[in-house]
Amino acid sequence: MRRRARFVPKKKRAKNRSSDITVLVVEDNDLNLEIAEFMLKTAGANVVTAKNGEEGVKCFLSKTPGFFDAVVMDVMMPVKDGLEAAREIRLSGRADAASVPIIAMTANAFYDDEERIKEAGMSGCVTKPLDAKKLVKTIVSFVKKRRRRRLVTKYEYS
């Protein structure tokens, strides 16, 4: 029997339908956006969507710090590409801007592309076509690391 990757264990989800992970998905292609949203919602995440990098940055900055646990962003988009949008989020000066995981979605997984993604301040990368398990595992991995760091920092400085 194949097991699907999930954000919330099945027993907890039955009691409380909403997950404790909120993801901003930024993608200009309607079909890709729908697929990513479906995968993440099926895994138990709360999903907010944006159609391009400019909308994604505005959406991120319009919410309170800590609202989004992760951002999944296409690299090549009109208006503002994912690399520029990631840089803008990182440089925004918000409390969570430096630590929120920003995960690139790209069809190009060459070394040069990965370097540009890192230089833009993105945390990691998933390739298209999207694999639900890999997408969820990548997000969960970064979110867990971020939460551990916040917990350690909280106790070190309190």
Q: How confident is the model at residue 113 (pLDDT cuts 50, 70, 90)?
A: confident
The pTM score is 0.83
Structure tokens at 51: 């159609």
The residue whose two tokens read 């990513």 is 36
User: 87: which residues sit within 8 A by CB, 6+ positions away?
Assistant: 120, 121
pLDDT at 13: 47
- Encode pLDDT of 41-57 as tens digits: 999 999 999 999 999 99
CA-nearest of 53, 61, 138 to 95 is: 61
Q: How far apart are the first and last CA of the chain?
A: 46
